[in-house]
């Protein structure tokens, strides 16, 4: 059940077109139902609380488990995002759910995907920035979160600090974004640069890209945590998902505020 469906249900009860008993029955079989599969206890109420169906973390789950969970969560026609997938799991989900959105680089599959939207005139959007091409799997995971949530997204890739002119050339579009996700490995310096260019929230994601002394992303993580630029918040190593969620929520909040303030 989506927020719009719940609103319509309550309006129907208020107008008398839907009885209290019928509404109670729909809720009983809707988001509040228990769905314990033994290996997973599904949260059908999450779209109402957070605006996106429960996201399925693919690592550690078997293909039959993924297919069962994805099938149940997507049954109402809601977008369901599955992350951290290998190629075998991507193929299985694509075969079971035709029409799914597959992002092999981002290691994601979205069942019942919305269309990807880019920035429009005056429309709140998220900018996803990567320092290098090697950071794209994490950046693309953040992009797929925005797409699943129906938030417009703008990619700005391979603009790391080794060629500072590249990010400076993109400053204008970054300043228009409602939130910016910055993905970087090595020393993780790019979020500080972006944080000094924009006035909107910056969600930094350290990646495990780099040579030995990067310590699988620890150096980038510590560099980002010590950023001298204001407004930079840091997610876990390689966690494009969390940064994407946070940025998309900012964009949605901005859009909602604009709707409320418009005459």
- For the chain, what is the HEC assignment? CCHHHHHHHHHHHHHCCCCHHHHHHHHHCCCCCCCECCCCECCCCHHHHHCCCCCEECCCCCHHHHHHHHHHHHCCCCCEEEECCCHHHHHHHHHHCCCCEEECCCCEEEECCCCCCCCCCCCCCEEEEECCHHHHHHHHHHHHHHHHCCCCEEEECCCCHHHHHHHHCCHHHHHHCCEEEEEECCCCCHHHHHHCCCCCCEEEEECCCCCHHHHHHHHHHHHHHCCCCCCEEECCCCCHHHHHHHHHHHHHHHHHHHHHHCC
Domain spans of the chain? Answer: 38-113, 126-259
Per-residue pLDDT tens digits for 178-228? 999 999 999 999 999 999 999 999 999 999 999 999 999 999 999 999 999
Q: Taken in order 94, 97, 101, 105, is the CA torsion positive or negative?
A: negative
pLDDT band at 260 (very low <50, low <70, confident <90, very high): confident
Does 1 have pLDDT greater than 60? no
pLDDT at position 256 is 87
How far, in Å, CA of 188 to CA of 206, rounded? 6
Q: 126-259: which CATH topology?
A: Rossmann fold (3.40.50)
Binned at pLDDT 50, 70 and 90, residue 70 comes out as very high
Query: d(Cα 86, Cα 91) in Å, to the nearest integer?
Result: 9
| Cα 15–Cα 20–Cα 24 angle in degrees, nearest 5 | 130
- CA–CA separation, 42 and 45 (whole Å): 9
Q: pLDDT over 70 for what percent of the chain?
A: 94
Q: What's the pLDDT at 96?
A: 95
Q: Which is it for the CA torsion 13, 15, 16, 18, positive or negative?
A: negative
- CATH number for the region 38-113 comes to 3.30.110
Is the distance from CB of 58 to CB of 66 less than 8 angstroms? Answer: yes
Given this model, what pLDDT does residue 32 score? Answer: 62
pLDDT by residue (tens digit) across 105-130? 999 999 999 999 998 877 899 999 99
- Report pLDDT digits (tens) over 21-56: 777 766 665 656 667 788 887 877 787 778 788 899
Q: What per-residue confidence (pLDDT) applies to 2?
A: 59
What pLDDT sits at residue 251? Answer: 95
């Amino acid at each position: 059940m989506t927020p719009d469906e719940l609103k319509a249900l309550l309006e129907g009860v208020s107008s008398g077109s839907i009885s209290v008993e019928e509404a109670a029955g729909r809720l009983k079989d809707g988001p509040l139902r228990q769905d314990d599969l033994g290996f997973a206890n599904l949260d059908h109420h999450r779209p109402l609380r957070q605006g996106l169906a429960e996201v399925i973390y693919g690592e550690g789950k078997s293909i039959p488990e993924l297919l069962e969970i994805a099938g149940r969560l997507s049954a109402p026609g809601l977008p369901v995002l599955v992350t951290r997938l290998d190629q075998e799991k991507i193929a299985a989900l694509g075969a079971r759910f035709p029409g799914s959105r597959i992002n092999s680089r981002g290691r994601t599959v979205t069942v019942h995907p919305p269309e990807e939207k880019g920035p429009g005139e005056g429309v709140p959007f998220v900018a996803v920035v990567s320092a290098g091409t090697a950071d794209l799997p994490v950046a693309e995971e953040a992009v797929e979160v925005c797409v699943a949530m129906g938030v417009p997204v703008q990619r700005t890739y391979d603009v790391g600090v080794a060629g500072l002119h590249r990010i400076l050339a993109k400053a204008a579009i970054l300043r228009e974004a409602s939130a910016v996700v910055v993905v970087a490995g090595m020393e993780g310096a790019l979020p500080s640069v972006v944080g000094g260019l924009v006035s909107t929230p910056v969600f930094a994601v350290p990646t495990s890209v780099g040579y030995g002394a990067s310590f699988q992303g620890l150096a980038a993580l510590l560099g980002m945590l010590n950023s001298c630029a204001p407004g930079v918040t840091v997610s876990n190593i390689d966690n494009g998902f969390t940064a994407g969620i946070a940025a998309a929520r900012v964009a949605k909040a901005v859009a909602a505020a604009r709707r409320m303030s418009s005459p």
